[in-house]
């Protein structure tokens, strides 16, 4: 089964307008020049979506947000609806990032509700899962990840509208990564859980990204494993050269 790799940048709460547009323009120019055979996605903060959309015009780089509310509109102060994201030109949204699960107490149920609403609006979702360091030490990685798949991936998920991102929480922003063998084991277990939930055909087509301290120097090893279909990149997505270098290495 050939699954086209997706190289996705999660800018988190970084960049004001000048820095963000400069970064997006640099990424756009390099991706255009190199014609790499993978899909690209950048997810800036909400405040920059409109400006970055303009920088990505004429490229194949998709625009995504980092979160969404499940309602189309209404009394939800400070929240952003799926329709607002499509209105700004987003085609993707990240849901259930560990920083939202932890900082905002987001449950599997809420994440599933958000994913359903996003799909209804025509957005593709990147649904994040992953274990804490303590869970890993207790040997619970696969159980935690499979439970998150069963709990937060909606029944309407398809290979077209959903991407899974496995992000061990202890690897995010720390410079630490699991071994390549561990990453492949978890991805294979996640795919098995997806097969149980959505059927084998869908599971075989669905992309499962790895995220957590992906850098140009470890990308080739982590991203060319059989069940790894790309990367969700935090820190290194804030440097155009590193982001594109990772994509180059993912195809080796």
Name the site residues for ligand PEP (rule: CB under 6 A). 10, 167, 172-173, 211-214, 232-236
> What's the min distance (Å) between Cβ of 72 and ligand PEP?
27
Residue number with the smallest Cβ distance to ligand PEP: 234
Q: Please, what is the angle between helix 240-249 and helix 216-223, to 10°?
A: 30
Q: Read off the tokens for 211.
A: 């995220």
H-run or E-run covering 247: helix 240-249
Nearest-angstrom CA–CA distance, 123 and 76 = 20
* Bridge partners (DSSP) listed for residue 125: 93, 162
The residue among 8 and 90 lying less far from ligand PEP, judged by its C-beta, is 8
Q: Are strands 6-10 and 162-166 parallel, antiparallel or unpaired?
A: unpaired
The residue among 20 and 211 lying less far from ligand PEP, judged by its C-beta, is 211
The residue among 125 and 213 lying less far from ligand PEP, judged by its C-beta, is 213
> What's the min distance (Å) between Cβ of 73 and ligand PEP?
28
> What's the min distance (Å) between Cβ of 177 and ligand PEP?
9
> What's the min distance (Å) between Cβ of 83 and ligand PEP?
25
Could you give the residue numbers annotated as active site? Answer: 97, 167
The residue among 198 and 240 lying less far from ligand PEP, judged by its C-beta, is 240
Let me know: does 186 contact 164? Beta carbons within 8 Å: no
Let me know: does 66 contact 10? Beta carbons within 8 Å: yes
> What's the min distance (Å) between Cβ of 250 and ligand PEP?
14
Nearest-angstrom CA–CA distance, 117 and 37 = 30
- The closest of 196, 205, 98 to 149, measured between CA atoms, is 196
CA 228 vs. chain centroid, Å, equals 13
Nearest-angstrom CA–CA distance, 233 and 245 = 12
The residue among 236 and 247 lying less far from ligand PEP, judged by its C-beta, is 236
CA 40 vs. chain centroid, Å, equals 11
Q: Give 143's contacts (C-beta < 8 A, 6+ positions apart).
A: none
């Amino acid at each position: 089964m050939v699954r086209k790799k997706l190289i996705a940048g999660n800018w988190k709460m970084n960049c004001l307008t000048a820095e963000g547009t400069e970064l997006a323009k640099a990424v756009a120019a390099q991706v255009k020049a190199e014609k790499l055979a993978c899909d690209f996605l950048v997810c800036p903060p909400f405040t920059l979506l409109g400006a970055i959309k303009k920088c990505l015009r004429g490229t194949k780089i998709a625009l995504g947000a980092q979160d969404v509310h499940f309602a189309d509109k209404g009394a939800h102060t400070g929240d952003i609806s799926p329709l607002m994201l499509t209105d700004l030109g987003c085609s993707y949204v990240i849901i259930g990032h560990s920083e939202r699960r932890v900082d905002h107490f987001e449950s599997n149920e809420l994440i599933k509700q958000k994913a359903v609403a996003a799909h209804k609006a025509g957005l593709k979702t990147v649904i994040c899962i992953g274990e804490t360091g303590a869970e890993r030490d207790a040997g619970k990685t696969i159980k935690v990840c499979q439970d998150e798949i069963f709990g937060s991936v909606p029944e309407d998920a398809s290979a077209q509208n959903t991407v899974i991102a496995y992000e061990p929480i202890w690897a995010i922003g720390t410079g630490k990564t699991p071994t390549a063998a561990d990453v492949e084991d978890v991805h294979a277990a996640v795919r098995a859980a997806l097969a149980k939930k959505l059927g084998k055909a869908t599971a075989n087509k669905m992309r499962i990204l790895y995220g957590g301290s992906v850098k140009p120097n470890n990308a080739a090893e982590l991203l060319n494993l059989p069940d790894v279909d790309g990367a969700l990149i935090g820190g290194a997505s804030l440097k155009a050269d590193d982001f594109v270098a990772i994509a180059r290495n993912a195809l080796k």
